[in-house]
Amino acid sequence: MVRANRGITLIEVLVSLVILSFALLGTAAMITTSMKKTNESNHHTQIMFLLNDMADRMRANPAGVSSGAYNSLTTVPTNPNCMTVGCNSTQMANTDMVEWNSKLAKELPTGHGTVVGVGHLFTITIYWDEDGFNNVSQSKSFNLSVLL
């Protein structure tokens, strides 16, 4: 009777190892997903700060808003170096766009932004690539509409 039970313990150990390996693989997958979602959450937090940063820059330059300097900032202009020399409201709008896009590029993978306005309604949009490899299928955008 003792001889019949000898092989059963080996099979039980092998089955236990298989179950344990599946559990470890599941845990690794959960950790990977958790890290990815934490990274995405960090990006979304940064996006909200950066959207509000540009809105605050526009509020600080009411002459630029009134003159239409922020109405169509869809590309990054040449930096007029307003921090070293005096500048008008349009040049300040260009400086805001250059500095803001510089922040976007540092904080988000392939991040860049645009500002488009009609009258007193402005749409500030941020574009980024979640995986950081310029993958069009992973490209995302978020916008904020501001009434100034």
Tokens matching residue 143: 């916008």
Give the CA distances from residue 113 to residues 76, 102, 127, 140, in Å, rounded to whole numbers and listed in that order.
9, 10, 6, 11
Per-residue DSSP letter, 47: H
pLDDT, mean of residues 135-139: 65
Residue 38 pLDDT > 60, yes or no? yes
Measured in degrees and rounded to the nearest 5, phi and psi for residue 93 equal: -60, -40
Q: What is the pLDDT of residues 70-129, one digit of tens each?
A: 998 888 888 887 776 778 999 999 999 999 999 999 998 888 999 999 989 999 999 998
Q: What is the pTM of this model?
A: 0.76
Q: What would the two tokens of residue 45 be?
A: 């937090």
Indicate the SS3 state at residue 112: strand
